[in-house]
Amino acid sequence: MRLVLLTLILWFSAVAAALGATSLPVDTGRVEASLLSSHHRVVPGQTFQIALKTELDEKWHTYWRNPGDSGEPVQISWTLPETLSAGEIVWPLPAPIPTGPIINYGFEGAPLFPVAFTVADDAPIGSVIEVQADVYYLVCYDVCIPEDGTLRLVLQVAEMAELNDGNAAEIVAAIDAAPHEMDVRAAMQAQGEALSLQFADLPDGDFSDAYFFPYDDTVLVHSDPQTVTVGSDGVRIDTTASFGWGDGFSQLQQGVLAFDLNGDRTGRIVTVNPGGALLAIGAVGDGSDTAIRSAFPLLGAILGAFIGGLILNLMPCVFPVISLKALSLAKSAHAERAVARREAWAYTAGIFATFVLLVGLLLSVKATGAALGWGFQLQNPVVVGLLALLLFAVGLNLIGAFEISGGAYQGTGATLAGKGGLTGSFFTGTLAVLVATPCTAPLMAGAIGYALAQPAMVSIIVFLALAAGFAAPFVVLAYAPGLLMRLPKPGPWMVRLREVLAFPMFAAALWLVWVVGNQAGVDGIAVVLIAMLAFALAVWLLQRRGVWRIAGAAAIVLALALPFTSRTTPAVASVDLATDAWSPERVAELRAEGRAVFVDFTADWCVTCKVNERLVLKTDAVQQAFLDTDTAFLVADWTNKNDEIARELEAYGRAGVPLYLYYAAGDNSVRAEVLPQILRTDLVIETLKGTR
Amino acid sequence: MMKTLALATAACLAFSTPAFAKIATGSTVSDMSVVDSNGVTHALSDFAGKRVVLEWTNEGCPYVKKHYETDNMQDLQRSAAASDTVWLSVISSAPGKQGYKDGNAANKWADKHNVASTAIILDESGEMGQTFAARTTPHMYIIDADQTLVYQGAIDDNSSSNPETIDGATNYVRQALAELDAGETVSVAETQPYGCSVKYAS
C-alpha cells in the first residue's frame, strides 16, 4: 500500500513538473493557492517570473500592501537556493472594500502576485532549483481567518530557456494589469484635518472616479470619502489627513492612483511630494452641463459671464437698485447727452470696481485655504444687516422721507447712491453689485465656478466680463440717441414712479431681514429692526435744528453700529420632518440602506434656490413623488459658511448654490446625477421615478 | 418651547457630525453611558480621576486570540488593575455577527479566559465604537485621569496574527501606562491599529 502511495506521489510530482512549473495547489480553507512559473527551464543569468496565485472563495477578500482600516497584507516568504534571488511583489490594483463604516484595501476573485527572480550566472547547467514559498494571508468576509500554506516548485537550469506558455501568459497579463510607476507631478498638503492631493501631467483616462491608495497607512483616513475634482490639467483629491501628519512626512510618499481607462479600472504608482507646492489642476468641468466650457473653456466662461451679467439686471433683488439708475437716466435723458454718458460710465466704473474688490477679497481669502464661494459676503449677518439698513434708507429716500441736500450727510452708501451726479452713479453701481450676488443668474453659475478654480488673472477676467454684461444696458442706452430720446420726458410722473419704487426696496430690505433672522435668530432680526428705527428717527431729527441734529447724527451712528452686534447662531433645523441635514456620511448611510438620495444645496439668500423650493420641491406632487419612491431629501444649507458644503460644490465644479444632486437607488457610482439649476416639477418627478 | 428647540438643535448637530468621527489624541473624550455584561450602566465621566484603558475585542478574531491565548492581554489587564487603572473591554459586534455576546456569554468568556478587565461593555449598537472610530480588534485607547485621550492605536508593533510574534514586540499600551505612571507624557500617542475589522452592523 505504501508503495502504491509513494508511486502515486512520485507520479504526481512528475506530472506537475512535466506540466511545467506549476506547484501543486494548496487549499488553505477559503483560498486555493498555487505557484506559477513563467518558465520550466531557465538559463544562468536569466530573469523570469514566479507568481503566487490565490483563488478566493466568493465574497472573501485578502489584503493589499496597505490593508486600510484593518487586516493584514498577503505575505510570501521564499526559501531559495543560493543560485536564485527574488524581487519584490508586483501588487495588483486593490479595490476599496467597505465593511460597515470600515474601508479596507484588498482583492477578491483570483489575484496573482508576480515576483521577478534572477538565476545566478554561475548556476550549473543541469542543476535543479527548488523554490519554496511559505504564504500567509488574512482572508475575511464576515469573519477573518489567517491562512497559510507551503508551496513548492522545481525548475531546471538548462542551456535553453523554456517557457510555460499558459503560465507566462497569465503572469504577463497580471503584470500588465498591475499599477506601474508613472512619472506624474504630484503633491499633497494637509491643513489641519483636510488633506489635499494634486496630480498633474496625467496619462489618458477618466479621472472623475479617481482614488488614491497610499502605501503608508498613516497618510489619510481610509474610511473617509475621497472627493475628486477634475481639471483640464490635473486632478485634485480632497480627503481627511491621518495622524501620520502629526510629525509630518519627511520623505517622498508613494501610492497608487486608480482611475478608469476605456471603461476598465486601472492604476499607476505615483510618487507624491508631501508638503510640496500645490499644483494648478486647471479648468474644472463636471462634464454634465458644461458644453460651452469644454469646447472653449475661457471664451465660453467669458461669454457666459457676459450674458449672465445682462440677465442679472432683471433679477428681483437688483431690480429696485437698477430702477434708481433708470430714473436718474430718465432725468438726464433729455438734458445733455454728455451728462448721460458720463453718468453711465461712472455707474459702470462703480460696478467694475466693486466686482474687482469682491473678487480680490474672495481670492485672497481663498488663498489662505478657507473654503468660500460666490455669495460669501452674504454669509455674514453683519453685512446682510447693513445691506438691509441700506435698502431701507434708500426706500425712505425714494418715498420722500428725506432729501439729500448738498452732501451734508454723505458717508453712507444710501445717500451716495441716492445722490445725483457722478459719485451717485458710481455708488449705485456698487450697491447694485452687492445686492445682485444672491441672485447669481443660472447662466453665471458655471462661469463663476470655472472662474474661481482658475489662476487669479483668469478669475478676474471672467468677473470683468460679468461686470461688463451687468453694466452694458446703461452704456448702450446712453450711447444710442434714439433710445434715450424715446424715454418719456421728465415730469410729475417721475415723482410717482420714484415713490412706487420705494416699495420693492422695502421688500428687498424685508427679505434681507429674514435672511438675518435665519443667520442670527430673533435677536438678529431685533437688532436690524432697531437699527432701522434709529435710522428713521435720525432722518426725522436731522430735519430739525440745533441740538436735535446732533442727536440725529448720534442716531445714525447707532443705526450703523447695531448690525455689527449680530452673531451667527448655530443652524436650527429649518427643514421639516421629511428632510435631513446633508453630510457625505449621511449620503453614504442612506445609499447603503439602498435608498435613493436627493440633495438640495441651498441658502436663504439664494433667490433661485428659494424659488425652486417654493414652486417645485415643496409642491404636493413632488413631495408625494419623494414619498412614493422613498427618496431621502437632504438639505445642505449654505446660508452660513460651511467648508464641507463648499468642498462638495467645488467637487461638482460649482462655486455657489443652487446645486441639485440625485443618487439613484442601488446605483453605486460615486458621483451623483446633477439636475439643472432651474427645476421643473415634471423633471424632478421623472428623475425620482426613473422615467426620465 | 426652549427644550424643543434645544432638542431640535441637538438632533441637527447629531446629523451633521460624521458618523465615523474620530477623537483627536489629546482632546477630551465626550461623556457617554454604556452598559456592561452585568447590566450595570457606567458613564465615562464616572471614571474621571482614574486612568481608563479601552480595548475593543471579538472572541473569534485571530488577532484577539493571539493576545488572549498567550495570556498577553490578561497580563496587561492585571498590571493595569495593579496601578488602579480602569479597563473596559468593549464588544461592538452587532447581533448575528462574529464576536457578539449577551451579558451571560460575555461573562462566561471572561471566566474561561481569566479576563481581568474592570468591565466588559456590550456595545451592540456600535455607538461607542463609532464615537471612538474603533476599527479593529484589538484597538486600544488610553484615557488619562483628566478624561483626555492620550493613546489610540495598536496594542503592539507587530501586526501579525502569529502568537510567536508577541515576544520581542513593543507593547505600546504597556509602554504608555509605564510612562504615565512615571509622570511622563506618552511618547507614542497614536499608531495604526491592526487586526480584524470591528463587526459593526452594516
Whether A69 and B97 lie within 8 Å, measured CB to CB: no
Q: Please answer whether residues A249 and A134 qualify as being in contact, where contact means their C-beta atoms are separated by less than 8 angstroms.
A: no
Alpha-carbon distance values, B150 to B53, B140, B185 (Å) = 10, 11, 8
Of the pLDDT bands very low, low, confident and very high (cuts 50, 70, 90), residue A388 is: confident
Higher-confidence residue of A642 and A33: namely A33
Of the pLDDT bands very low, low, confident and very high (cuts 50, 70, 90), residue A276 is: low
How many Cα atoms occupy the beta-carbon half-sphere of A549 within 13 Å? Answer: 6
| pLDDT tens digits, one per residue of A410-441 | 333 344 444 556 777 787 788 777 767 655 54
| pLDDT tens digits, one per residue of A98-142 | 888 889 999 999 999 999 999 999 999 988 889 999 999 999 888
Per CATH, the number for A579-689 is 3.40.30.10
| Mean pLDDT for all residues in chain A | 79
Is B60 touching A (CB cutoff 8 A)? yes
How far off is chain A from B95, nearest CA to CA, in Å?
12
> Is pLDDT of A365 > 90?
no
Whether B192 and A218 lie within 8 Å, measured CB to CB: yes
Q: How far apart are CA A266 and CA A209, in angstroms?
A: 11
> Domain limits of chain A?
19-177, 181-274, 291-565, 579-689
Whether A100 and B192 lie within 8 Å, measured CB to CB: no
Q: Please answer whether residues A211 and A236 qualify as being in contact, where contact means their C-beta atoms are separated by less than 8 angstroms.
A: no
How far off is chain A from B195, nearest CA to CA, in Å?
5
Of the pLDDT bands very low, low, confident and very high (cuts 50, 70, 90), residue B150 is: very high
Of B82, B71, B34, nearest in space to B54 by CA: B34
> Is pLDDT of A68 > 80?
yes
What is the mean predicted confidence (pLDDT) over A90-102?
Answer: 90
Give me the residue from A72, A581, A589 closest to B16, CB to CB.
A581
Higher-confidence residue of A351 and B85: namely B85
State the pLDDT at residue A576. 45
> Is pLDDT of A573 > 50?
no
| Mean pLDDT for all residues in chain B | 87
Select the residue from B161, B172, B192 to test the A interface by mutation, using most A Cβ atoms within 10 A. B192
State the pLDDT at residue A309. 80
> Is pLDDT of B15 > 70?
no
State the pLDDT at residue A319. 67
Name the DSSP class of A579.
E
Give me the residue from B11, B20, B162 closest to A585, CB to CB.
B20
> Is pLDDT of A596 > 80?
yes
Whether B62 and A581 lie within 8 Å, measured CB to CB: no
Q: What kind of architecture, by CATH, is found in domain A181-274? A: Sandwich (2.60)
Is A101 touching B (CB cutoff 8 A)? yes
Higher-confidence residue of B18 and A465: namely A465
What residues in A contact B193, CB-CB < 8 Å?
A: 70
State the pLDDT at residue A408. 33
In angstroms and rounded to an integer, the radius of gyration of the C-alpha atoms of chain B is 17
Q: What is the ipTM for the molecules in this complex?
A: 0.79
Q: How far apart are CA B92 and CA B97, in angstroms?
A: 10
State the pLDDT at residue B9. 36
Higher-confidence residue of A320 and B136: namely B136
State the pLDDT at residue A425. 78
Q: What percent of chain A has pLDDT over 70?
A: 78
Is B119 touching A (CB cutoff 8 A)? no
What own/partner pairs with CB < 8 Å and gap ≥ 24 does B159-164 have? B159/A72, B159/B194, B159/B195, B160/A72, B160/B66, B161/A72, B161/A138, B161/A146, B161/B62, B161/B63, B161/B65, B161/B66, B162/A146, B162/B66, B163/B65, B163/B66, B163/B69, B163/B70
Range with the poorest average pLDDT among A50-54, A240-244, B181-185: A240-244
What residues in A contact B64, CB-CB < 8 Å?
A: none
What residues in A contact B159, CB-CB < 8 Å?
A: 72
What residues in B contact A99, CB-CB < 8 Å?
A: 197, 199-200, 202
User: A628 Cβ partners below 8 Å, 6+ apart?
Assistant: A688, A689
Of the pLDDT bands very low, low, confident and very high (cuts 50, 70, 90), residue B100 is: very high
pTM of the entire predicted model:
0.53
> Is pLDDT of B10 > 50?
no
Q: How far apart are CA A132 and CA A23, in angstroms?
A: 10
| pLDDT tens digits, one per residue of A241-264 | 888 887 778 788 899 999 988 778
Q: What is the 3-state secondary structure (H, E, C) of chain B?
A: CHHHHHHHHHHHHHHHCCCCCCCCCCCECCCCEEEECCCCEEEHHHHCCCCEEEEECCCCCHHHHHHHCCCHHHHHHHHHHHCCCEEEEEECCCCCCCCCCCHHHHHHHHHHCCCCCCEEEECCCCHHHHHCCCCEECCEEEECCCCEEEEEECCECCCCCCHHHCCCCCEHHHHHHHHHHCCCCCCCCECCCCEEECCCCC
> Is pLDDT of A330 > 90?
no
For chain A, report the end-to-end CA distance as a whole number of angstroms.
73
Q: Which amino acid is residue B7, in one-letter code?
A: L
State the pLDDT at residue A367. 62
State the pLDDT at residue B91. 96
Higher-confidence residue of A27 and A19: namely A27
Whether the link from the prior residue into B138 is cis, omega within 30° of 0, is: yes
**CATH class name, domain A19-177:** mainly beta
State the pLDDT at residue A245. 83
Q: Which CATH superfamily is domain B20-197 in?
A: Glutaredoxin (3.40.30.10)
What is the mean predicted confidence (pLDDT) over B33-55?
Answer: 94
Q: Give the highest mean pLDDT range of A36-45, A275-284, A479-488.
A: A36-45
Query: Residue A631 phi/psi, 5° resolution?
Result: -90, 130
Of the pLDDT bands very low, low, confident and very high (cuts 50, 70, 90), residue B6 is: very low
A19-177 against A181-274: fold identical: yes
Higher-confidence residue of A571 and B195: namely B195
- Three-state DSSP at A54 gives strand
Of the pLDDT bands very low, low, confident and very high (cuts 50, 70, 90), residue A289 is: very low
What is the mean predicted confidence (pLDDT) over B156-177?
Answer: 92
How far off is chain B from A142, nearest CA to CA, in Å?
7
Name the DSSP class of A51.
E
Of the pLDDT bands very low, low, confident and very high (cuts 50, 70, 90), residue A403 is: low
Q: How far apart are CA A223 and CA A242, in angstroms?
A: 11
